[in-house]
C-alpha cells in the first residue's frame, strides 16, 4: 500500500539489500537469484490484470515473514505435491492464520493519515464487486444464486418454442408438397406405361391390316390381269366361232352375272 512495504526507517539498518517491490528478501541467507528492473513508475497498485501470474507482489512476505503459519515451512515437507494442494494449503493456512489470530492483528506501523494516503483513497474508491464465481467467496456461499435471482426462463422458453414452431411450420407444407409431387410422378408414370402398351397393341393391329390390304392389292392386280385375259379369250372365241360352220357354232358366251 505504500511505496515501501515496511514504513519506518528504523527498520532499514536491519536489512542489507535495498527495498524493492516484489523482490525483497527478509533474510540475507538466500541469494538474490532474480533481479529484474524495478517498476519505473511510482504506482504501486498491482498492475493492470488482477490475475497475472507473473509478478504477484508481497508473496515473499507471506512466505518468508509470516505472521502465522509459513507456507514455506509446510511447503518444505510437501513440496512434491501438486500445485493445487499448495494453493489449498495456502488458503487453509491463511484461514487458520485468520481464525487463530483474528484478535492479534500485528500492526507494523499505525496509519498516520488514512485519508491522505493515495493508495488508501484509491482502494476506497473501488466499488464493491463480487468475483465471477461465487463459490470462491466463502464455502457456505450462495450456490448459483443467479439462477434464482435475475434470470427468468419464461421469455427464453417462449422464444425457443416459437422458433421450433416456425421451423416445423416451414417444413411441413414443404414436405407435403414434395410428397404430393412424388405421388403425381408415380401416377404419371403408370399412365405412361398404360398408354405405351395400348399404342403397341394398336400398332400391331395396324401392321396386320396394312399387310392384309397390300395382299388385297396384289389380288386385285391379278384379277385385272385375269379379266383382260378373259376378254382376249372371248374375242378369240368369237373369231373361232365365226370360222366354224353354222351347225357347230356355240352359244354366244354370256357371262354369268354373279354378284361379287
Partner 1 sequence: MTSASSSSARSLFAESKQRLAERVQVNMNNIASLARQIQRGSKSNELLSKAARDFAATEHLMEGSEENLKKMQLISVHMGYQYENIHKSAQMLTEINEQIAMMHR
Total residues contacting partner 1 by CB under 8 A comes to 74
Cell 493492470 maps to which residue? 48
Helix boundaries (H) for 65-152? 71-77, 83-100, 118-125, 145-148
User: Grid cell 426462463 — which residue?
Assistant: 153
Interface residue with partner 1 among 1, 63, 67, 92 (CB under 8 A) is 63
Using CA atoms of 181, 187, 192, 197 in order, give the dihedral in degrees to the nearest 10: 160
Binder among 19, 56, 94, 120 for partner 1 (CB under 8 A): 56
On whether the CB atoms of residues 45 and 83 are closer than 8 A, the answer is no
Per-residue cell: 132: 465471477
CA distance 234 to 240: 10
Cα(225)–Cα(222) distance, integer angstroms: 5
Euclidean distance between CA atoms 234 and 255, whole angstroms: 10
According to the binding rule CB under 8 A, does residue 185 interact with partner 1? Answer: yes
Chain residues 20-39 in contact with partner 1, contact rule CB under 8 A: 23, 25, 30, 32-34
- Nearest-approach distance from CB 197 to partner 1, in angstroms: 9
- Which of these, 32, 2, 29, 33, lies nearest to 18 by C-alpha position? 32
Q: Print the binding letters for residues 67-106 with partner 1: x by CB under 8 A, - otherwise.
A: ----xx--x-------xx-xx--x----------------
Backbone angles phi, psi at 146, to 5 degrees: -70, -25
> Among 8-16, 39-47, 93-101, 163-171, which window interacts with partner 1 (CB under 8 A)?
163-171
163 binds partner 1 (CB under 8 A): yes
Q: Does 186 bind partner 1 (CB under 8 A)?
A: yes
Binding segment toward partner 1, per CB under 8 A, in 9-17, 93-101, 103-111, 189-197: 189-197
On whether the CB atoms of residues 172 and 161 are closer than 8 A, the answer is no
Pick the piece of the chain touching partner 1 (CB under 8 A) from 2-10, 37-45, 204-212, 238-246.
204-212
Interface with partner 1 (CB under 8 A), residue from 48, 51, 107, 243: 51
Q: Which residue has the cell 400391331?
A: 204
Q: Does 174 bind partner 1 (CB under 8 A)?
A: yes
Q: Which of 210, 237, 240, 244 binds partner 1 (CB under 8 A)?
A: 210
Amino acid at each position: 500500500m505504500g511505496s515501501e512495504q515496511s514504513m519506518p526507517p528504523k527498520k532499514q539498518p536491519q536489512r542489507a539489500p535495498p527495498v524493492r517491490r516484489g523482490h525483497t528478501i527478509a533474510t540475507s541467507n538466500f541469494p538474490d537469484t532474480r533481479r529484474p528492473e524495478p517498476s519505473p513508475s511510482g504506482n504501486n497498485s498491482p498492475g493492470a490484470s488482477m490475475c497475472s501470474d507473473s509478478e504477484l507482489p508481497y508473496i515473499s512476505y507471506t512466505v518468508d515473514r509470516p505472521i502465522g503459519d509459513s507456507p514455506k515451512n509446510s511447503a518444505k515437507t510437501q513440496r512434491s505435491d501438486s500445485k493445487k494442494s499448495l494453493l489449498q494449503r495456502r488458503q487453509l493456512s491463511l484461514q487458520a492464520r485468520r481464525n487463530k489470530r483474528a484478535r492479534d492483528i500485528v500492526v507494523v506501523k499505525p496509519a498516520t493519515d488514512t485519508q491522505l494516503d493515495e493508495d488508501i483513497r484509491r482502494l476506497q474508491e473501488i466499488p464493491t464487486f463480487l468475483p465471477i464465481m461465487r463459490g470462491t467467496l466463502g464455502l457456505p456461499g450462495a450456490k448459483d444464486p443467479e439462477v434464482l435471482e435475475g434470470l427468468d426462463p419464461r421469455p427464453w422458453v417462449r422464444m425457443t418454442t416459437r422458433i421450433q414452431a416456425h421451423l416445423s411450420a416451414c417444413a411441413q407444407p414443404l414436405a407435403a408438397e414434395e410428397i404430393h409431387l412424388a405421388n403425381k410422378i408415380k401416377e404419371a408414370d403408370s399412365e405412361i406405361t398404360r398408354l405405351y402398351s395400348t399404342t403397341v397393341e394398336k400398332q400391331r393391329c395396324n401392321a396386320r391390316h396394312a399387310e392384309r390390304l397390300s395382299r388385297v392389292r396384289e389380288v386385285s392386280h391379278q384379277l385385272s390381269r385375269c379379266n383382260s385375259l378373259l376378254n382376249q379369250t372371248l374375242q378369240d372365241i368369237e373369231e373361232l366361232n365365226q370360222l366354224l360352220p353354222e351347225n357347230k357354232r356355240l352359244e354366244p358366251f354370256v357371262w354369268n352375272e354373279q354378284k361379287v
